[in-house]
Amino acid sequence: MRVALGVGGGIAAYKAAELARALQERGAAVQVIMTDAALEFITPLTFAALTGQKVITSLFSNRGADEVLSSAVEHIHVAQSHDALLVAPATADLLAKFAHGLAGDFLTTTYLAFTGPVILAPAMNTNMWLHAATQSNLEALRGRGHLIIEPEEGLLACGTSGPGRLAEPGRIAGEVVRMLTARRGMAEGMAGETVLLTAGPTQEALDPVRYITNRSSGKMGYALAEAAASRGARVILVSGPVNLPAPAGVEMVRVRTAVEMRDAVMARLEEATIVIKAAAVADYHLREIPAQKTKKAAAQWTLNLEPTPDILAEVGRNKGGRLLVGFAAETQNLEAEGRRKLETKNCDMVVANLVGQPGAGFESDANEVTLVLRTGESVAVPRAGKRVVADRILDQVVKLRREPGRTP
């Protein structure tokens, strides 16, 4: 397990020494990269002594011609030869540079050249952390599937108190090692697959201030995204509005309406080998949304709703060799309805769940489903946490993918 540890210039830089040691204690080899600003806070010698490796300090140094040539491509070598890129402390400046792709030194060029998992542990003053600019940079970085290890609350070096303190080095090292072991242990499961997933509800506007939606929390789809990513798949998650953090290692596409979800799915379909439609797409919407707020003048308000595009059916018509999984939320005739949807929408599997019972389904952390397969079989998944159910669904996906006659 080889970890490239980028150290940014902040008071917390000294804690990166403890972090390097914590990573090594957990079996990782650590290559430290320091920014120029980090050099103001801690010396490279500290890291070199701790890790037993030369510390990388800047992109172009005052070296001889040969050395300069090799250092000019060294960031590519570092990017290719490490399993994870961890940056701690990730300063507000580094987050902004990563978010916008600025590449002026060794660490930022390594970031751009790195294709594996990126873990960022920010540390800064509370106001800097809460600033809209920092938060929107974080949102962009989360959307790229990076794992953000949130800073903790406490007394900061600047004398104020609030969120901004670097997470405990032991916790950061633990998260990094857990993530890498999960990727390794289950990589066989779905390595090489690209899973295009939809999750959550959609919101359909009635006027500029009102909308209709449904009770989907997105938890089942997010659990599937997390499970597929930890099995080594590349995951693109098209999500309606939900209150859930982006799962680690997943590319996020955020949408609001059924039409936006349809467009996002069709735009990314080409890349996918597996499509899972866990979203609770609104079936009806207003085709023309009034430009002005509807006033309360009338005694009644009648809505003339029209059907939204059926995304699952459209993917079913254009699926090629892709494996297609649909969901069916039913209040009765679970298996028969599941099979009907499997056939009409050309799916390979339908995850049918009974909604409207207490303790499972919408908004709940648990679920109980029946997997209706194109092979004619049905598999009952007993009530369990959504992450466990997600793994049972993926077990069947992997099995169906291995069947002969299926192209990638």
What tokens were used for 284? 């009806």
Please, what is the minimum distance in Å from the beta carbon of residue 284 to ligand CTP? Answer: 9
The one catalytic residue in 72, 158, 336, 380 is 158
Q: Which is nearer to ligand CTP, 150 or 283 (CB)?
A: 283
Burial readout 8-27 (b: 16 or more C-beta within 10 A, e: otherwise): bbbbbbebbbbbbbbbbebe
Q: Report whether 344 contacts 350 (CB < 8 A).
A: no
CA 183 to chain centre: 14
Please, what is the minimum distance in Å from the beta carbon of residue 312 to ligand CTP? Answer: 3
Contact residues for ligand CTP (CB under 6 A)?
Answer: 258, 277, 279, 281, 283, 308-312, 326-329, 341
| Burial classification of residue 326, based on how many CB atoms lie within 10 Å of its CB (0-12 exposed, 13-18 middle, 19 or more buried) | buried
Tokens 């600047």 belong to residue:
158
Please, what is the minimum distance in Å from the beta carbon of residue 407 to ligand CTP? Answer: 23
**Residue 307 vs residues 155, 201, 283: alpha-carbon distances, Å:** 54, 16, 6
CA 338 to chain centre: 29
Please, what is the minimum distance in Å from the beta carbon of residue 347 to ligand CTP? Answer: 8
Report whether the peptide linkage leading into residue 290 is cis, meaning its omega lies within 30 degrees of zero.
no
The secondary element (H helix, E strand) that includes residue 139 is: helix 132-143
Told to judge if 347 belongs to the known catalytic residues of this protein, a careful annotator would answer no
Q: Which is nearer to ligand CTP, 146 or 277 (CB)?
A: 277
Q: Which is nearer to ligand CTP, 86 or 324 (CB)?
A: 324
Distance CA 230, CA 182 (A): 6
The secondary element (H helix, E strand) that includes residue 366 is: strand 366-373
Please, what is the minimum distance in Å from the beta carbon of residue 291 to ligand CTP? Answer: 25
Q: Which is nearer to ligand CTP, 16 or 281 (CB)?
A: 281
Q: Which amino acid is at 69?
A: L
Q: Report whether 194 contacts 270 (CB < 8 A).
A: no
Q: Which is nearer to ligand CTP, 58 or 378 (CB)?
A: 378
Show which residues are catalytic.
158
